[in-house]
A and B are shown apart, each in its own frame.
Chain A
Amino acid sequence: MAAEDPRPGAVASVAPPGPAPALAALSPSPVDSSPPPASYLDPWWRKNDDLVRRMKVTQDSGLLLRQQLSAQDALRGFRELLHILQALPAAVSALPLELTVTCNFITLKANQTQGFTEDQGQDIQLGLERVLEAQEQQGPRLKCGIRELWKTVLQATSLLPELLPALHHLAGLQAALWLSTGCLEDLSLLLQMLNGSQNVASEDLLLLLKSWSPPSKELDAPLTLQDACGLRDVLLTASALRQGLQELITENFPRALSSLQEAASGFCSRAVLAQVYTALGSCLRKMGNPQRALLYLVEALQVASVWGPPLLEASRLYRELGDTTAELESLELLAKGLSVAQSSKTPQVLIEVELLLPPPDPASPLYCGTQSHAKHLLASRCLQTGRAEDAAEHYLDMLALLLDGPEPKFSPPAGPPGSCVPELFLETAAALIQANRAQDALTVCEELLRRTSFLLPKMPWMWDDTRNGAKELMNYPLWVSAVYFLQGQAWVKLGASKEAVSDFSRCLELLFRAPPENKDEGIASNCESRCRPDVAVQHLRLAALVSRGLEWVTSGQDTKALQDFLFSVQMCPGHRDASIHLLQTLQRLGRSHEATALWWRLEAQRKLPPEAATGSLPLYLETCLSWIRPPNQESLLEEIRTSLQEPSDLELPGFP
């Protein structure tokens, strides 16, 4: 069969439309609704149609596994067919079938691999080269890229109307490829070429896509999995959504809104619609329209069973609105929703919008973490909003989630690589202490120590020790000392002052092995989300010193307490809590001169603008620092002020 000479087809191409050479020449009426007359292409034609029909039938059957298998078979079939057709000399009469098979193959392949790769680009290029080969224009194609190839092909085939439907379909796939890989300039150039010279000036992708009207297929054309018009609609929605999300990230909200509304009005599946609504909600929230945003989010939740992003967005919205209960509720719902295992996706035979969108990055409103992320978010929000009991429960849930079974439960947050599980442990311990569950906190701390203590350097550790693998090692001393600090706090809660002091001392001993002056190492400069380790170390030292000082105070050893407080103030001269503790102790020891001087310094500091934040501290450290806050500092300050009032008029008249 393959030995048959395809040349008659080439001859027939001179005659106007009519797929079959011999009969087209004989019959005076070329347009005929009867099945295509016999031609040497028929067997392959039928095979293509069979494959397409079979794919469409199995698509409707229920069994997922069977669908996957049949999709594999069909893909193999299309590949074989394509190999056969491409082995023939290129002829215009055979090209519609060949290009259609190419399109079907690319469509199915993109669905199986869940995205477009270089392979599909090469398949498209091969198809274009075959078109040129059929017209014997092989000269310039060797050196030009795919863009020039398209230009040549479209110019060359303007006189061959029978090739146009298949070529437009192929162009649609090329557009999908470029959209998914982000080659938007190429894409708009291609669309301009496809549209002819009407909209040359327009650079707007959406306009170009809208004005592109692929020529309609003839009735007797080979079957396709997805026709060019359907592909155009998908492209339109995908590019609108993509553009909207882009604008949203660059904070160009009005344009984002219009693009997203365009996407919402387009053709898409329910899941994609839910995504569009979520993005719309996010956009409106940022534009200051919480009520409309809420409406969209509700809509998104109703449209499809994709709960993650809308719920996360809703929690953000409630947080902005200050409705903590609603926020936590939505986070709880989110955690529950994510715990349901997602079933695998049904293999599609069509190019869908999801296929053309890049995976969401953390800044996107469509990004929502895993169940562990949701749990952590919920727990930390509880801790931050002062619901310590709930926070402790959620943290314990989360730890159980992480530690049970070999199944993956936790995924590291996007960002610079580094460990974060230790901080989860620390936060848990802090939450437990906060919730007065000191014994549980001690258990958590012991567990953390047991699992990481072997990593602790035995010698004094250096900040600049950034050799291979040592970067992460730097954090271990910080974590271990934080564990000791938390243990100390737990002992404080349990009233065991001796153990508490010893733990604080071990914490301090560990912390003071690090020379804090090497601040400009630049290690942490690239991660804004986390604070620099040296800042954290400084604050932890302060907290440990103050806590030990407070323990000394409790046991009545005021001199020792004073020493610790003095240290802490020296280390963080501007730290208000430490200063007030020092002030209190000075007063208690009757060293009023020093107390007054300190008071003046505090007063002066209060008038200054607040210091620029050095980056947010880890949550566990924030919690720790909240414990050393003196409960009645305002009354204390007031008391000093009043005690100073009388002498101040006399002694310090010139003081500002």
Chain B
Amino acid sequence: MAVPERWVDYLAALGCPTGGLAAGRPRVLTQGTEVLVAPGNELVYALDTRDLQPRVFGLPEPVRHLELLAPGRTLFVLCAGSGIYCVALDTPHRSASQAEDVGGQGDSDVKMGQHPSQCRNQAEEGHSEVDEDPCETQEGHVESGGSPSEVVSVGPDACILPDPSLCAFTLLGDLLVTVSQGPGTWKVRLFKHLCPGPGTEPGAQVGEVVVPAEPPRAPNFLPVLSCVSPPCSRDPHSCLPGPGGSTLQEALFGLLFGADAALVESPVVLCGFPDGQLCSVVLKTLVTSQTAPGDPKALVKVLHHLEEPIIFIGALRTEPQAQEGGDTPADCLVALGHHGRTLAITAGRDETETLVPEMQVYRLPGPVLCATCNRGSLVYYSTPSRLHVVNLAPGDSAHPGLPPLLCQNSLRVCKIVALSSPRDPEDSTKLLALSAGGRLMTCHVALDPARMTARQATSKIQNLLSNISSVSERVLSLKKAVEQQNQALTHLHEALDVSCALLSCQSSPKPIMCTTRPSWRAQGLHQELVATCRLENQGPCSLGPGWSWCIQVLPSSYDGATTYTVPIQQLAPGACCEVTLTLCSGEEEEGGIPDLPVTVSHMLFYSLQEVVGVLLAPVGTEEDTLGVVWPQDLLPPQDGACLPLGLHTVDLLQALRFPSLATPCLPPTNPIDTFLANYQEQGSRPGGQAALQAPYLPPSTVSIRVSSELLRAALGDMGTGGSLCCATLQWLLTEHSPVDVGKSGAPSSVQAVAPDGTSIRLTAQEASRAPSPDLAQRAVPRPGLCVWPMLAGAILAVSFLSPPTGASTPMSFVTPLMHPPSAAPTPSLALPTTSLELRVAWSRRQHPLVSAGSLGSPCPTCCPRGPEVSVEVEKPGTPLSLRAEMGVRLTGPGPWACTVMMVALAGVGDRPGLREPHPSCGDPGGEPLPRHRVPGPPCHDHPHPDSHHGAGDAGRQPAQPASTMPTPDPGQPRGPALGGPGLAGQAIVGELS
């Protein structure tokens, strides 16, 4: 088929059709030079192609259909849910100009419309970008200078047929055929003698027939009507069909509609319903009355069932037109369905030469929005992407009849929502179209009449072949791109799953867990403290490429953290991976003494760059596979998602070494040091550094007194076997192998060596009994909170629930609150603020349950007299610090286990100054200070609840005690909570020995 050449002229920009690309709502109608457009809203535009000045009519309801009755230039408009209105096309023009300007029609014309030249210019610009539909206008506005005041509003007086159920109509002379929708039925009615004008009676109903409807498959579609007539013999001009109708060849007509219709030469109304039925009603037989109701079986004939909403019905002439150019009747009936199913009916003859209807159903690519046909054999139809044309002319003379296959040609105009072809024969190459953006345009379509030569055909075939190959290449690359996209999407989906799993479960065990186990490892000549980190995937998702495991080692003294990144290639569910890192900070590589406590935090990082970046990367010289230009900064290279997995603090306790064990701890780094050390030891006893410091710094002792019952309860199984003291020590040193501790010999006391070589003794001994056991029994069963009146020596009872996965029995313990014997019976005991606050910090971040702001535990230095207790409550692995203070509440997270640790650290030989000073006291951290120091100014601003280093907060705070009083070790992993305030404030310290 020859490709029609085309070009497009924009006529006007009208209001945007409402409903976008919904099929069958907007209408375009042309009659001579008059063009009528209903974009689907309440407005109707009438314009003349010669001057292009639209007149706008505003109707009360959205317009569904238009028909123009030529003789009186009367416009019939169907409004949704209202009825049919009748507008005289000439009078409103006058009235509009009257309203605006009495001066005359010409003046108002200039004001109303866009100047033609202006419009032409626009049209020129638009030529190159037909597909873009560049001018999108707002809804309901005449862009071309029309202001709302120029809208001639059509009132209810103009309604000639009020009926809310009307959904389609057509005109035939002075007959009006309407279709209205009832429950399960379509009602076709016929009116005559419609005379528009105010105050007239509605036309007399002549006939009515009810067509059973099938369940609505597409409620948004409207029925379409079309009139066909047989060729009229006696007076060819008297029975021409209306503007929407056509003349049908008599054989086809008689065949389709029967001898009656052919004999009385009756026009036939074809109804295409949204349920797919294509029915015909012979108009002259549709005279029914109350006393003679019509029989649908006799009046309605179902020609075909298209199984999809019918969009268009038209008549075509498939045979070439006769030479004289007369108006030969159509010989083919076409119906288009919304999804592209197309029915064509012609009259054929079978083998016995009997006239039979020849029906052919084609499938065209849909969805069809609108369609039209001109006098020839072409059907134009619009899909959202293109305007297409199909030719129904017989393929060759050897095979008369309908072509077995239809191939459509694309006209490269898109988003056309309404089409109309002028009826004048000389205009048959013009199409009037309305785009979804509200632009009215003329498409010139003409079939190339010249025959192709062989050479032309060859080159055309070559072109086609090369087109095919380029298309196939493009298809390949597109396919590849789609595969990559799919893969990336899968990865992203998995990543999302993992993230959700990790972020959603607060209390239950996380699907991906990290554990850190510190240990000493021989590294060349010396030993170093290393942490063995283990990443376990216990969730259902596997971690694939794009994920990496970041381990950040943050020594307490060193600002710069060391981050290790371990890319995870594949970590299936159930699998685990393990890395071993040194905990010594970079500066102390040689010394090998880690700066305790060291915080090891684990994160999972998901790199978007790695997964999505492939798609965004430019594909070399090829054009982008997806045809999309990505902005350069769409994805910063470092972008990704970071999921904290947890953190672990390696503290002094974990880094202890036991000299009683076989392994010699910390061999001297070089022989000279060893020698010197030996020499010092021998020379002066107590010699060495410790001996030097001894006169000034007697061995520090920190003790905490805890109820033994509580301890027993807390230790559980561990405490039942042997002595409580031994069990306590064992528990404290759980992270060391039990062999180590067990071999230490002294059940209630363990001698150990700190990483820096100072010796530490941990002693547990039974001191005294808890004052009143009955108070202990009054432990509140409700987990978490309780308030007790605080008295000297009173007991704070807290009951906690163990986590759901842990021991199922709630653990209760009683913390004795003690005042130092030395402290005077302070009036603070009688202070009105007598309650207790339990402050809980989950590792680095504050637990949400910790009530922020009310935690102003006074700095021990600042408020030395405040009775304060600082205890560490710990579930192994999740350190909590419990700070008790007179007059505060207890808060705590939900289900958690809690134990009380009692530890006494005795250290000789401190290296003070490594602590940072209390911010408000301004203590310089570097120098040792006298033991009993006058308290500094009060400070209330810490611990800061928002600090992202919760445990560190609690840990940093005691920095000051370290300065006021030399604490055993700079590290004090849990020292901050433990020794810090307690020692410095002197409030809790039970004994100093």
Contacts and interface: CB of A to CB of B under 8 A. Distances in A.
Contacts of A360: 291, 293
A228 interface: no
B797 interface: no
B156 interface: yes
A197 interface: no
Contact of A407 (B184, B206, B233): B206
B263 A469 contact: no
B596 to A, nearest CB: 66
A563 to B, nearest CB: 31
B201 A412 contact: no
B258 A72 contact: no
A371 B265 CA distance: 19
Given A68-B202, A411-B287, A473 B354 contact: yes
Nearest to B281: A408
A457 B355 contact: yes
B293 A370 contact: no
Interface stretch (B294-302, B551-559, B898-906, B941-949): B294-302
Contacts of A68: 162-163, 202
A421 B259 CA distance: 8
B160 interface: yes
A461 B289 CA distance: 39
B266 interface: yes
A470 interface: yes
Contacts of B239: 406
Contact of A69 (B156, B263, B295): B156
B352 A457 contact: yes
A412 B299 contact: yes
Contact of B262 (A366, A371, A452, A475): A452
B259 A455 contact: yes
Contact of B352 (A407, A459, A479): A459
A402 B354 contact: no
Interface string B231-271: 00100000100000000001100110011101111110000
B205 interface: yes
**Most chain A beta-carbon neighbours within 10 Å: one of B159, B239, B264, B265:** B264
A143 interface: no
Nearest to A275: B291
Contacts of A465: 354
A452 B254 contact: yes
Contacts of A473: 354-355
A468 B304 CA distance: 12
B259 A419 contact: yes
A282 B163 CA distance: 38
Interface footprint category on A? 35 or more
Given A118-B184, A407-B175, A469-B357, A419 B287 contact: no
Given A411-B292, A417-B298, A455-B259, A119 B265 contact: no
B182 A408 contact: no
Nearest to B251: A454
B290 interface: yes
Contacts of B294: 411
B204 interface: yes
Interface in A395-422: 402-403, 405-412, 414-415, 417, 419-422
B477 interface: no
B394 interface: no
B354 A470 contact: yes
B260 A420 contact: yes
Interface string B186-216: 0000101100000111111111000000000
A308 B233 contact: no
Nearest to B254: A455
Grouping DSSP codes into helix (H, G, I), strand (E, B) and loop, the A interface class, with mixed when no group exceeds half, is loop
Contacts of B290: 342, 354, 359
Q: Which of A306, A369, A450, A454 has the most CB of B within 10 A?
A: A454
Contact of A419 (B184, B258, B292, B299): B258
Contacts of B259: 419, 421-422, 452, 455, 472, 475-476, 479
Nearest to B230: A451
A521 B772 CA distance: 115
A360 B289 CA distance: 11
Given A117-B182, A402-B284, A455 B355 contact: yes
A448 interface: yes
B329 to A, nearest CB: 13
A513 B364 CA distance: 44
B673 to A, nearest CB: 87
B355 A367 contact: no
A526 interface: no
A417 B357 CA distance: 19
Interface residues of B, number: 63
Interface in A465-497: 465, 467-470, 472-473, 475-476, 479
Contacts of B182: 113, 117
A469 B162 contact: no
A257 B669 CA distance: 133
A411 B263 contact: no
Contacts of B205: 344
Nearest to B183: A117
Contacts of A119: 183
B333 to A, nearest CB: 14
Contact of B285 (A369, A411, A479): A411
Given A119-B183, A411-B288, A470-B354, A406 B173 contact: yes
Interface string B825-867: 0000000000000000000000000000000000000000000
Contacts of A469: 255, 356-357
A476 B204 CA distance: 36
B283 interface: yes
Contacts of A407: 175, 192, 206, 284
Contacts of A168: none
A408 B207 contact: yes
A455 B295 contact: no
B172 A406 contact: yes
Interface string A571-608: 00000000000000000000000000000000000000
B396 interface: no
A373 interface: yes
Interface in A435-467: 448, 450-452, 454-455, 457-459, 461, 465, 467
Nearest to B159: A69
A118 B287 contact: no
Interface in A354-374: 354, 359-360, 366-373
Contact of A406 (B175, B254, B297, B357): B175
Given A402-B284, A469-B255, A452 B162 contact: no
A100 B662 CA distance: 101
B404 interface: no
A64 B288 contact: no
B266 A342 contact: no
A458 B201 contact: no
A403 B265 contact: yes
A359 B290 CA distance: 7
Given A72-B164, A409-B284, A459-B354, A65 B263 contact: no
Nearest to A467: B356
A412 B257 CA distance: 13
A425 interface: yes
A441 B766 CA distance: 139
B375 to A, nearest CB: 22
A403 B263 CA distance: 8
Nearest to A411: B287
Q: Which 9 pairs of residues, A with B, have the shortest CB-CB distance?
A: A359-B293, A408-B287, A458-B353, A419-B259, A459-B352, A421-B260, A457-B354, A421-B263, A412-B298
24 contacts: A64-B201, A69-B156, A117-B183, A118-B184, A341-B193, A342-B289, A344-B201, A360-B293, A368-B291, A369-B292, A370-B288, A370-B289, A373-B292, A403-B265, A406-B239, A408-B284, A410-B284, A425-B263, A452-B263, A455-B259, A455-B262, A459-B354, A465-B354, A470-B354
Given A422-B259, A454-B251, 4 more contacts: A64-B201, A306-B291, A371-B287, A461-B354
